[in-house]
Chain A
Amino acid sequence: MPAESAFTILFDGRPIPAEDGRSVAETLLENGVHTFRRTRNGEPRGPFCNMGICFECRMVIDGHPNSRSCMTPVRPGMRVETQHDSNIEAPDEDR
């Protein structure tokens, strides 16, 4: 891993090592995260198709709910949070 392309993202406030060119989903899976989202009944959900069509891996990314983590490339300092479907909050700019 070349040093200049390695950085960290925040997952639920915790720093996680990331690498340029990878998706959020890939990065979290590499770091042992399996619960990306909780359904309205509280059941855990994570990536299923990993290609943008199943919408199971939706997370709150940089304040935006319902973001597909498998389709979102990581960026330095990105804030990624588990999405709780029972309590989705408005995007930052709409609060």
Chain B
Amino acid sequence: MDTADAVVIGGGVIGTAAAYYLSETGRKVTLIERNGIAAGTSSRCEGFILVNDKMPGYDARLGRLSQSLFPGLSEEIGFDIEWSPQGSLLLIESEEEMAVAEDFCGRLAAEGLAVQMLDRRRIHEIEPHLAEDIVGGMETATDGAVNPMALAQGLARAAQQRGAAIRTGAAVRDIRLTSPGKVDRIITDGPDILTPTVVNAAGIGAPEIGRMVGVEIPITPRQGQILVTERTFGLTRRKVMEFGYLMTKFEKEGYRRRVTPEMEANGVAFVLEPTGAGNFLIGSSRRFAGFDTATDPTVIRAIGERAVRFYPALARARLIRTYAGLRPYTPDHFPIISPTPVDGFFVAAGHEGNGITLSLITGKLTTQMIAGESPDIDLKPLRLDRFDSEIAHAR
């Protein structure tokens, strides 16, 4: 039997960030992960650290709080997370879209974010490979990307250096409570762990962990597929996405792009990430497909076609592989960072496609919540009980 002040379940970017900040408070932390560090969603995604895809208001403020923690992190933890700060671009296809984007940009600027509109002349000046008919864009100077695998590995190592135990390849079998409902111990396939505090950072596996203590967590896997090109010529250094990506992400009703039925059916929207190694990651798609992580030629072709529409030269880059990942989706697109009716059982999960960006602030907020400190931002919008009526309805 082991003991810990807190046990974090899940070794993705969220769990490792929670372990990193929790261990900073002097708590004895154990992180338990059934596969390996970053073996799940955190290695089947892109590495964007973005505020340009957040809704103006709370979403944007939360994103910016997290983003501001990234530039100094490699030095802080002594591990290169491959932070690349070249900014992002949202591409605009039509004058109609331009009007919507200008309004969006104005609202983000009012939040104090470093956003600006680029006209047709300017965007083609800075992005010479862009399709000629693109009418403009929105640039966000603070946006960047990291290598999410390096991020999780670096955070896990840094937590370990602060005394945390990292147990990989170890599954949680059950969580036992004292009576009345308070966390007592975790039953694993190795030694059990006696602990008063559990953080459920299991992402798409969070509902399964929640059920062990009778807590319903409304997270559903939402699949996304990604194409990887060979290392090739410098098409762009910026993180690029089509403005329509936001509209598919927020599931805006009444918003129609000129795309094929395959693109529409699979939520295909163009996203491009130049990696540190010189390859490009091309996305994106969104669909509910259970726990399926197989890629699908129809979706891959649609993503490729959409990419070539924005950067015709991509047609001459070879793909070296494709992969699919499962975003932990919640019904209102916000993560859950919250206590639960079970004393000592906390949730930090459900970030959908924002997990890498929000990882650090999630680790920090989770720590503040457990330590009873005042959080960096109001946690009310992230509480689990906001879904109470939906969960009751589903029963």
Contact = CB atoms under 8 A, between A and B. Distances in A.
Classify chain A's interface size. 10 to 19
A35 interface: no
B278 A65 contact: no
A66 interface: yes
Interface string B212-248: 0000000000000000001111110000000000000
A65 B198 CA distance: 52
Interface in A46-70: 55, 64-66
A94 interface: yes
Nearest to A85: B231
Interface of B is mostly: loop
B301 interface: no
A40 interface: yes
B258 interface: no
A83 B104 CA distance: 44
Given A91-B313, A94-B313, A66 B278 contact: no
B313 A90 contact: yes
Contact of A90 (B231, B235, B278, B318): B235
Interface string A60-95: 000011100000000000000000010011110010
Contacts, number: 30
A64 B230 CA distance: 13
Contact of B231 (A64, A88, A91): A88
B232 A66 contact: yes
Given A40-B278, A64-B316, A66-B318, A94 B232 contact: no
Nearest to A58: B230
A91 B316 CA distance: 8
Contacts of B318: 66
Contacts of B278: 40, 85, 88
B313 to A, nearest CB: 4
Interface centre among A65, A89, A94 (most CB of B within 10 A): A94
Nearest to A90: B233
Interface in A10-44: 40
Interface in B178-237: 230-235
A88 B316 CA distance: 13
B230 A90 contact: no
B129 interface: yes
A40 B278 CA distance: 10
Nearest to B314: A94
Nearest to A64: B316
15 contacts: A64-B316, A65-B232, A66-B231, A66-B232, A66-B318, A88-B232, A88-B234, A88-B278, A89-B233, A90-B129, A90-B233, A90-B235, A94-B312, A94-B313, A94-B316
9 A-B pairs with the lowest CB-CB distances in the bound complex, closest first: A94-B313, A90-B233, A88-B233, A91-B316, A89-B233, A66-B230, A88-B232, A65-B233, A66-B232
Interface of A: 40, 55, 64-66, 85, 88-91, 94
Given A88-B278, A91-B316, 17 more contacts: A40-B278, A55-B230, A65-B233, A66-B230, A66-B232, A85-B231, A85-B278, A88-B232, A88-B233, A90-B233, A90-B234, A90-B235, A90-B313, A94-B129, A94-B312, A94-B313, A94-B316
